[in-house]
Every structure is written in C-alpha cells, then in structure tokens.
C-alpha cells in the first residue's frame, strides 16, 4: 500500500510540473519576449503546491537522502517513475489539446530542438545546466522547510525555481513533459533525460553536502 501511495504521489507531482511547463509555453507563445520572464515566475507555483501538499518529487527529495531516513532507494525509484508518468501524461494531454494550435506547437518544437539536438549541444554545458538545476531545486525545498511563514515559504521556492527556468537549466521531469508534448521521445531525448536525472541528483547532493558542512558546529 505504501508503495502505491508513493507512486501515485509521484504521478501527481509530475503532472503538476507538467502544468507549470504548459504555463511556461503558453506565456512564451502569447507574450513574446516578456513571456520568458513571466513564465519563469509562474512555473515555481507548481513546486510550491507540491511542497504544500507534501507530494513526492524526485528532484526535491534526492538531496535529502542522507538526512531523511524515510527517503529510501525504493521510494526514490517509485517517485521518479511516478514523476515521469505524470509528466508524460500531462505532455500527452497538452498535445491533444493544442496540436492544432500552430503557434503553441512551434514554440514547443523550438524548445525541444534546443534541448535535444545532440549534434548542436555542448554536452559539458548540458551537464552543468543539469547540476545547477539540481542545486536550485534542492535549495528551494531546503529553504521552504526552513522558512517560518507562508509568505517566506513561497518566496523561498519562487526565487531558486525562477532562476533555473529563466536560465534554461535542465530539469529531468520538466524535460519529459516538453518531449512528450512535442511527441519527441527518441534515442537522443532518452539519453539526455538519463543525463539530466543523474546530474540533477549530483547537483542536489553537492549542495546538501556544502550546506550541512557549513551548518556543523
């Protein structure tokens, strides 16, 4: 029963990340250049809701694996699988809703091409962006846990996630949404998703080690 709860919680978290991704694409489509900034401000609401509800988002939990004994490897794998299922589900729904909207699909396609063209991607840059994304997500969740008021909890999530979306850092669950929205799952995108999962995790764990080293007396 617990395994099923973790999996369903992961699906819902991935679905919410997908909603954030959809809002980002819609703002880029309809608001032009300013849509990048506005969409980056809207996207963090998804993680804030995930934190408030207490859902299982892999990139929000992996950094705490050495501190929180309830975060086991099996739970992490279940939530990651659930996140991917929920994100792909939202991407598929988005495709069915907007496949006839040329403007939206063109923005989605351009975003996916920028992410998945292995011939045009500097893999070192991709790795760095994935590590930095992992750091920003960990920082958002860490600050949320430390904040003493609801307003500060929201700001704590808003700022790091705004940074990662605006800078185009690579988030494995969000990328799964974009790839499924554009029906772009292939060997290139699967390889890049594996890379982003690995290096999102490394980024989270690096920042965990730095913060908790500094907090030691």
Distance CA 212, CA 87 (A): 31
Distance CA 134, CA 205 (A): 8
Nearest one of 96, 34, 98, 61 to 208, comparing CA atoms: 61
User: What tens digit of pLDDT does each residue of 72-129 get?
Assistant: 899 999 999 999 999 999 999 999 999 999 999 999 999 888 887 655 667 888 899 9
User: What's the confidence (pLDDT) of residue 118?
Assistant: 54
149 DSSP 8-state letter: S
**Quick one: pLDDT band at residue 217, thresholds 50, 70, 90?**
low
User: What tens digit of pLDDT does each residue of 30-84 get?
Assistant: 998 788 899 999 999 999 999 999 999 999 999 999 888 888 899 999 999 999 9
Q: Scan for tokens 């730095």, then name that residue.
A: 210
When divided into structural domains, the chain yields a total of: 1
Q: What is the mean pLDDT of residues 204-213?
A: 93
- The whole-model pTM stands at 0.92
User: What tens digit of pLDDT does each residue of 129-169 get?
Assistant: 999 999 999 999 999 999 999 999 999 999 999 999 999 99
* Residue 192: CATH number of its domain: 1.20.1080.10
Domain that holds residue 173: 2-103+111-215
57 DSSP 8-state letter: -
Q: Scan for tokens 């309830």, then name that residue.
A: 70
For residues 204 and 66, the model is more confident at 204
Report angle CA 52, 11, 162 to the nearest 5 degrees: 50
Is the Cβ–Cβ distance between 82 and 6 less than 8 Å?
yes
186 DSSP 8-state letter: S
């Amino acid at each position: 029963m617990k395994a099923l709860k973790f999996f369903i919680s992961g699906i819902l978290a991935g679905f919410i990340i997908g909603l954030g991704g959809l809002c980002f694409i819609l703002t880029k489509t309809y608001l032009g250049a300013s849509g990048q900034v506005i969409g980056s401000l809207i996207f963090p609401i998804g993680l804030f809701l995930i934190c408030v509800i207490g859902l299982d988002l892999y990139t929000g939990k992996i950094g705490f694996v050495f501190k929180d004994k309830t975060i086991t490897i099996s739970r992490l794998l279940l939530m990651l699988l659930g996140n991917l299922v929920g994100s792909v589900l939202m991407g598929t729904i988005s495709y069915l809703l907007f496949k006839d909207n040329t403007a939206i699909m063109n923005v989605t396609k351009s975003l996916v091409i920028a992410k998945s063209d292995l011939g045009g991607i500097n893999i070192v840059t991709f790795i760095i962006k994935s590590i930095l994304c992992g750091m920003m997500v960990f920082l958002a969740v860490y600050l949320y846990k430390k904040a003493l008021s609801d307003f500060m909890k929201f700001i704590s999530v808003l700022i790091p996630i705004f940074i990662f979306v605006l800078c185009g850092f690579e988030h494995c669950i969000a990328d799964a949404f974009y790839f499924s929205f554009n029906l772009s799952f292939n060997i290139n995108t699967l390889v890049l998703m594996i890379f982003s999962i690995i290096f999102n995790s490394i980024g989270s764990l690096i920042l965990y080690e730095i913060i908790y080293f500094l907090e030691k007396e």
